[in-house]
Amino acid sequence: MSFSQVIGQSAVKQQLAELLQHNRLSHALLFLGKEGSGALPLALAFAQYVVCEKANPKKVVAAGPSLFGEPEVDSTQPAVGTHHSPLTTDSCGVCSACLKAQQFVHPDIHYSYPTVTKKAGEKPIATDFITEWREFIKLNPYGNLFDWIEMIKEKENSQGKITARECDEIIKKLSLKSFESEYKILVMWMPEELDKEGNKLLKIIEEPPPNTLFILVAENEELVLPTILSRCQLVKVPALDNSDIEEALISRNKTEPAIARQVAGVSEGNYREALQLVQHAEEDWLVLLREWLNAILKGGPVAQTKWVEEVSRLGREKQKQFLRYFNHQLELAIHYRIRGEALNIGEKEKDFAVRLNKFAGIEQQEAIIEELDRASYYIERNAHGKMLFHALTIKLYHIIQDKVVFLME
């Protein structure tokens, strides 16, 4: 994967290129970015950039006089100690190293990621799942841990983990000499899933073999072992701009421009979420939302119970998308209240914003947003859908009708 294949993030790409070109590359980098921001694609692209034969030619040590005359000098290779051309800001994509890196088979780029136990007593390692991993990052480079575990699990409630045995394998691999490139590289995705056995890696991270590069890719800094975090140079990956998501949906996913614009505004810089929303773009969330609010405000317990039964059958991902949609509508209503006609939104969104503003003030709307965020959090952690939406319906009723603002954690 090359930098050109990564959505947006031009500033981070430039930063990474300069680290290598100006010889400021730390032996351990931590790419920190929220889900869907592209931290993993950036790490994969950077690994390819490092091994690229044109962007980073392997240094040739002069051998001195020879019995068979002076050694031939390859004019395409820079002299020892020279810097890279400032124009080389991406891998070439055509050299032998790039072709192997694009297929994720380069012998000097190793991958580590959470795995699941398929049989009682086994201790899985990353290479047990390498075929699935290559397929996953080719088809879904912006996927999250849930997507990956769903792909490889054989039983329900499987938990992803980077095992102690995997740490031993990493130490063994990185202790060997590189095969083809100047660098040996480890790309570790989701180091948050390392338990205390991750401390096994401390020595090799702190005192790595020559030309060894660790690239860790995390979503939550607080869940990374502090002992590992302190030994890494941080590369912050921001959320994607709406314009970058919109353009990517149109050019890569062949999404209709109108839908791409709407989805980009709701996705909050998360390209994975944007793809999920596009899949269900034909779902009329607005109708479902109107039914819910009518049940809360006018229908009474019978209508509310019927609606909860309906929404509980949607499944976890759709429930999260519906709550995200409601949140977006509330944010639009707040912006419309402040900016009025100056806010550039569609007629449907404008009409709904006006209606929302009639029955709920800003305090109530902000309280509802907090409750929706909390509900999404619990859905991600397998909360019972029917019970959750029953409780949420009651809370929204009191927020709207009784002007109660829930501030409880």
- 73: exposed, middle or buried (Cβ count in 10 Å: 0-12, 13-18, 19+): exposed
Region of 36 please: left (phi>0), alpha (psi -120 to 50) or beta: left
- 140: exposed, middle or buried (Cβ count in 10 Å: 0-12, 13-18, 19+): middle
- Residue 338 in tokens: 């402040």
CA dihedral 377, 381, 382, 386 (to 10 degrees): -20
Residue type, position 350, single letter: K
| 32 close to 237: Cβ distance less than 8 angstroms | yes
CA dihedral 239, 243, 246, 247 (to 10 degrees): -110
Helix (H, G, I), strand (E, B) or coil at 302: helix
Cβ atoms within 10 Å, residue 203: 10
Residue type, position 339, single letter: R
Supply the pLDDT for residue 344. 59
| 271 close to 248: Cβ distance less than 8 angstroms | yes
Supply the pLDDT for residue 218. 93
* Interatomic CA distance for residues 266 and 245, integer angstroms: 11
Its sign, for the CA torsion 103, 80, 72, 77, is positive
Nearest by Cα to 53 from 101, 95, 93: 95
- Residue 371 in tokens: 């409750």
Supply the pLDDT for residue 282. 53
Element (H, E) at 317: helix 316-339
Residue type, position 202, single letter: L
Q: β-pairing, 212-218 with 233-237? A: unpaired
Q: What class does CATH assign to 3-238?
A: alpha beta
Q: Tokens 């006609």 label which residue?
A: 341
* Interatomic CA distance for residues 78 and 92, integer angstroms: 16
Supply the pLDDT for residue 297. 86
The DSSP secondary-structure symbol of 56 reads S
The predicted model scores a pTM of: 0.71
Task: Give me the residues of the chain with pLDDT under 50, please.
Answer: 60-87, 405-409
Supply the pLDDT for residue 346. 63
Q: Under 8 Å CB-to-CB from 106, ≥6 apart: which residues?
A: 48, 51, 97, 100, 180, 181
pLDDT in tens, 304-328: 999 999 998 887 878 887 888 888 8
Supply the pLDDT for residue 136. 94
Supply the pLDDT for residue 70. 45
Supply the pLDDT for residue 176. 86
Q: Under 8 Å CB-to-CB from 235, ≥6 apart: which residues?
A: 12, 15, 16, 29, 30, 31, 32, 42
User: Helices then strands (H, E): number in the chain?
Assistant: 17, 5
In 219-287, where do the E strands start and end? Answer: 233-237
DSSP string, 184-229: EEEEEE-GGGB-GGGGGGHHHHHSPPTTEEEEEEES-GGGS-HHHH
